[in-house]
Structure 1
Amino acid sequence: MFLSLLQPVRMTARCVRSISSFRADDLHITLTDKPKPKPSYDNLPFGGNTSDHMFEVDYTPAMGWSRPVIRPVEPLQIHPAAKVLHYASELFEGMKCYRCVDGKIRMFRPMENLERMERSAVRAGLPPYDRFEFLKVIKKLINIDQEWVPYSDRCSMYIRPTFIATEPSLGVTQSTDAKLFVIAGPTGPYFKTSMKAIRLLADPQYVRAWPGGCGAFKMGSNYAPTVAIQAYAQREHNCQSVLWLFGDDHQMTEAGTMNFFVFWTNEAGEQELVTPPLDAGLILPGVTRKSVLELTRQWNEFKVTEEVIPMGKFIKALNEGRVKEVFGSGTASIVCPVGQILYQGQELHITDTDDIGELTQRICHDINEIHYYLKPHPWMESIDIDGDESLRTVTAN
């Protein structure tokens, strides 16, 4: 069941044209007359700044999709009975674009994010749209706010597409109305520790996801219940994040908002990079996770596996000196080394230094070279919109 839900929705050109959707060539653009000052790239926080403009479009059954607009960032107009405010009918994505060494701005694997967003929308019961048209309007938004993309090889622009249920009704039913919007802004590293190893709290009484739930979909309702636990881990245990466990065997699933990887010598004596599998629906199918798996398999230097990692198996390997590195991966952090895990009163020391491991550092280096086009790669997609002069030219309507 979960594997079928996680598969991208494949559509022929005929099917794409038949979907009721907004169209990029219908965009109504209003440019701000009060542009904001750009922040300094030094110590730029994650998610603390938004650019000047946003994208917005609404859906109702009677009218279908409204005319899409790009306008100055301002508060949303939403009814207090909107279902998103009462039943958390909401989903989002996290994407990045980079100012590359050749001066062009490129996005990192955007269609992977939009395919995942489409799967989340199906699970949330929100209306369909043409994701190819959606990508066009996102590129247009970036084009308009291109000066907000940092001139830095340490920063990027973070893009946040969001889809919410807006029907003004308190019944617990599928929403008839919806709003799709996108904001963006320059961002720095996710963790204040930057690339230093973090400490995780692993407490089996707190569970992030379970079979049959929505852990495999990027919904806001997955994140809200984790915030207090993350704060508790920081306040009471000096842990930067939480290692989420599941089941009687305390399976290691995710590290905070990141996918989780272990590099070890397995019981057969092989070097192996292992991450939890997607088939149970417990794990978000991260775009960076997928990229790490594809990249390391291309190297063909060690075994790369997707399998369940129980705490008992991990601790045994750690006690036998077989665990080499542990790290998380995600759009915000790319990769983040893990140095210690606090588990049921035990201090599990993966490394006693803040230094990043050799493999983690290599993965980070190679992906960053792809991001900034030091190593040209098909994962990077230009925001140039070929063959459509109306979308390439920024004008106010």
Structure 2
Amino acid sequence: MTDHMMVVHFDPVHGWSPPEIQPYGPLAIDPASSCLQYATSVFEGMKVLLALAEIPTLSFTESHMAHTAYAGPDGKPRLFRPDLNMKRMETSVGRVALPSFDTDELLKLIQKLVTIDARWIPTVEGHSLYIRPTIIGTRDSLGVAASDRATLYVILCPTGPFFRTGARPISLLAVNEHVRSWPGGTGAYKLALNYAPTFRPQQHAAKLGYDQCLWLLGDTITEAGAMNFFVAVRRDDGGKEMLMGGGTDVDVITPPLDGTILPGITRASTLELVAAHPSRATLPGLSPDVRLHTVEGELTLPQLSTWAKEGRLLEAFTVGTAVVVAAVGRIGHNGTDIVLPPHEGALGPIARGLYERITDIQEGRFEWEGWSVACA
């Protein structure tokens, strides 16, 4: 963790206390606190990136990611679409009846904390400073009721790349005997209580040789691990080689925000960038003749199997704050695998184009819709 943290407390008489940026250290809370007894805990995940003048980076063959960092226009630390994180946190707080807060003020405090601890921002390609805003219920009573007291804090931690030994396709084990989320539940909110029940199935998947779980509701796909899931499916009967150089129509499909899916910031960004290709901005490495179509619709395991057999399933990939974009190589279920087409450098052309465009925006090399926000 970095040197400092931001802490602010709420009580029903005085409201929110003046915020304090103080040395990093333990929090003192009552053993009967609501967060410990009834899981009243909400958090967010954000990243700070610092693009310097050109720095050494791994070659394509070493990292499987052709990517070099360049100086942003102002050299300041950058946040990626932080307004969406604040909005999602506000929504999650409301779902578990914790005290509301001023999202604009919290974002200002996060920017101030980042500026104070800016020396912790890694200057190595692929690394970043992770931000964890958290709000916990601190009502010190065993009564089953909403917490009228809370502590909101923000901590920072330097992090390395998701793939420490170079990018590779991940493997997913489709799981329907354990359910991550369900209609009317809390899957659309970033609550701590959503994560612990996934640990045991994840351990089982790892024992079977898979990296993550692909969460199902019946046959319907929801998420992959803690990431949003996408597939690219060819509409016409042309060859997959057309993706790099010829005209073809491809549906980029992800499950809809039906209450069982976390509305990821990278998910939203992916959909917007896909929709912009090629009319507003061509994705790196993709021909303008490749026509991409965004589809937010139900995805089922039998559909994936059929598309794979027909040769129409071009790519599957996951997106999220930590990984940005990761290719999926195989999906297991009931002892058999759906195998995705292999691609040089792990990522398929659509996933690679998205990865490069998003990271270029994050690090200030490509301006798009004000998504990259410099810390003052």
Scaled by the length of structure 1, the TM-score of the pair is: 0.81
Q: CA deviation at 1:193?
A: 5.7
Q: Which residue of 2 aligns with 1:260?
A: 229
Q: Summarize deviations over 1:206-228 as a string: whole Å, max 9, x none.
A: 11000000000000111110011
* Residues in 1 aligned to 2:325 and 2:182: alpha-carbon distance in whole angstroms: 25
Q: CA deviation at 1:346?
A: 1.1
Paired residues, number: 331
Scaled by the length of structure 2, the TM-score of the pair is: 0.85
Identical positions, percent: 42
Q: Summarize deviations over 1:42-73 as a string: whole Å, max 9, x none.
A: xxxxxxxx111000001010121112111111
SS in structure 1 of the partner of residue 361 of structure 2? helix
Q: CA deviation at 1:229?
A: 1.1
Residue 365 (1) aligns with residue 356 (2): yes
Residue 380 (1) aligns with residue 352 (2): no
Q: Which residue of 2 aligns with 1:325?
A: 315
Larger deviation, residues 371-380 vs 203-212: 371-380
Return the letter of the residue paired with 2:315.
Answer: E
Q: Which residue of 2 aligns with 1:165?
A: 137
Q: Which runs of 5+ in 2 are unaligned?
A: 52-70, 239-248, 279-290
Q: CA deviation at 1:246?
A: 0.5
Return the letter of the residue paired with 1:261.
Answer: F
- Decide whether aligned partners of structure 1 residues 374 and 328 sit closer, same or farther in structure 2, where only a CA change above 3 A counts: same
SS in structure 1 of the partner of residue 92 of structure 2? helix
* Residues in 2 aligned to 1:233 and 1:193: alpha-carbon distance in whole angstroms: 21
SS in structure 2 of the partner of residue 208 of structure 1? coil
Equivalent of residue 123 in structure 1, options 92, 95, 102: 95
SS in structure 1 of the partner of residue 139 of structure 2? coil
Q: CA deviation at 1:373?
A: 1.1
SS in structure 2 of the partner of residue 79 of structure 1? coil
1:31-50 to structure 2, matched below 5 A, reads 50=1
SS in structure 1 of the partner of residue 305 of structure 2? helix
Q: CA deviation at 1:150?
A: 1.1
- Decide whether aligned partners of structure 1 residues 341 and 259 sit closer, same or farther in structure 2, where only a CA change above 3 A counts: same
* Residues in 2 aligned to 1:194 and 1:63: alpha-carbon distance in whole angstroms: 51
Q: Which residue of 1 aligns with 2:288?
A: none
Q: Which residue of 1 aligns with 2:85?
A: 113
Q: Which residue of 1 aligns with 2:332?
A: 342
Q: CA deviation at 1:182?
A: 0.4
* Residues in 2 aligned to 1:297 and 1:306: alpha-carbon distance in whole angstroms: 12
Q: Which residue of 2 aligns with 1:241?
A: 212
Preserved CA contact (<8 Å) 1:106 1:380:
yes
Q: Summarize deviations over 1:11-55 as a string: whole Å, max 9, x none.
A: xxxxxxxxxxxxxxxxxxxxxxxxxxxxxxxxxxxxxxx111000
* Residues in 1 aligned to 2:123 and 2:163: alpha-carbon distance in whole angstroms: 21
* Residues in 1 aligned to 2:86 and 2:340: alpha-carbon distance in whole angstroms: 36
